[in-house]
Amino acid sequence: MRYDGCMKLGSLLYHYLVPHEHNNHRARALHHESLFAYVLLLVIFNLSITRIHKQAPDILGYATDIRIEKLLEATNTKRQEQGLGQLSLNQTLSQAAQNKAADMFANGYWAHNSPQGKTPWDFILSAGYRYSLAGENLAKNFDTSAAVVDAWMASPTHRDNILKGGYTEVGFAIVNGVLLGEETTLVVQMFGTGTSNERAQIPQVQAKEPIAVQVPQQPAALAMEASAPAAARVAKTQNLPFVGGVHIAPLVDIPAVTHQVAYMFVGLIVGVLAVDAFVVWRKRLVRLTGHTIAHILFLFVMIAGSLSITRGSLL
């Protein structure tokens, strides 16, 4: 009885995976209806992931752990490695970064300048920071603080900002929300060198509030720098405890699931195609089908290319 069951399973697998006379010399798993079923199944899988994520982001979501203190630490480590001085965290710059992030979500843009023409420097000045030198890095949809800083360091313009010797202070904002219809964790890093050590005469309302806010979405990075004529006064660096960030720990991480499913799926198809090519070559079969080896190469290239796709991006 058990032996029969094993035999049946063996025959079924043979029928589905190996070309022979009973499946028209083409593994059943490679017949048109099977290929069409794979497409359909994957589309349903993708739609289900998207829908479940929208309805229950706590269960199925994007795991994120980005914290201001870690961003500061990693930024200063990179500077120290180049023999540069450490940047101190400035509350006013962090507020400017926070205002910039809020404006990007409110007006739905992913750019250095807002659709209304506001530049990063407008945000810095309006927060009360007077600078002789300022810069901005943006990032979105990275999953860890280290990944954000590593991506900035890999980009020449962002790296220049991090390693600019003229900067003395930095501010951060990490905001999670929906940007351009996509869940986004936005990271804004603003650099500055004040014109004096005096505190600006602008009320620092948010000084005790954490700079990071939770709104659901991805990371993007932006790098700009500017040297502006010295303005008036500079907001003094705050010595208040300044911690914050976005920490999202869903039950199931979407990229982990989708990657596993996709790689397993392509692995199976490529495996069946390889068996097919081998059997056809061994038996010297002549069939009216596509080029199996070409299919394998094409799928390999698509998978290799997709390995370079990351959610995180820099502007």
Binding positions for other proteins, 105-124, rule CB under 8 A: none
CA contacts within 13 A on the Cβ side of 10 = 6
The CA angle 59-64-68, to the nearest 5 degrees, is: 145
Stretch that binds other proteins, among 95-103, 108-116, 164-172, 284-292 (CB under 8 A): 284-292
Shortest spacing between CB 136 and other proteins, in angstroms: 18
Stretch that binds other proteins, among 4-12, 90-98, 194-202, 293-301 (CB under 8 A): 293-301
Give yes or no for residue 45 binding other proteins (CB under 8 A).
yes
Give yes or no for residue 227 binding other proteins (CB under 8 A).
no
Give yes or no for residue 24 binding other proteins (CB under 8 A).
no
Name, in order, each residue with C-beta under 8 angstroms of 104's C-beta and a sequence gap of 6 or more: 110, 114, 179, 186
Phi-psi region of 284 (alpha: psi -120 to 50; beta: other; left: phi over 0): left
Give yes or no for residue 254 binding other proteins (CB under 8 A).
yes
Give yes or no for residue 274 binding other proteins (CB under 8 A).
no
Give yes or no for residue 311 binding other proteins (CB under 8 A).
yes
Shortest spacing between CB 5 and other proteins, in angstroms: 32
φ/ψ of 180, rounded to 5, equals 50, 40
CA–CA distances in Å: residue 278 to residues 25, 26, 95, 292, 296 = 12, 12, 64, 10, 12
Shortest spacing between CB 52 and other proteins, in angstroms: 12
> Is the CB of 141 or the CB of 176 nearer to other proteins?
141
> Is the CB of 83 or the CB of 156 nearer to other proteins?
156
Residue indicated by tokens 């990490």: 174
Phi-psi region of 187 (alpha: psi -120 to 50; beta: other; left: phi over 0): beta
Give yes or no for residue 262 binding other proteins (CB under 8 A).
yes
Shortest spacing between CB 296 and other proteins, in angstroms: 10
CA 75, distance to chain mean position in Å, is: 19
Taking CB under 8 A as the criterion, the residue among 11, 46, 82, 126 binding other proteins is 46
Taking CB under 8 A as the criterion, the residue among 113, 119, 155, 206 binding other proteins is 155
Binding positions for other proteins, 168-187, rule CB under 8 A: none
**What's 175's DSSP letter?**
E
Q: How many chain residues bind other proteins (CB under 8 A)? A: 44
Give yes or no for residue 56 binding other proteins (CB under 8 A).
no
Taking CB under 8 A as the criterion, the residue among 13, 22, 36, 232 binding other proteins is 36
Give yes or no for residue 312 binding other proteins (CB under 8 A).
yes
CB neighbour class for 92 (10 Å; exposed up to 12, middle 13-18, buried from 19)? buried
Strands (E), the chain: 60-61, 64-67, 88-89, 131-140, 169-179, 182-194, 220-227, 245-248, 252-253, 313-314
Q: Which residues bind other proteins (CB under 8 A)?
A: 32, 35-36, 38-39, 42-43, 45-46, 49-50, 151, 155, 254-255, 258-259, 261-262, 265-266, 269, 288-291, 294-295, 297-299, 301-306, 308-314
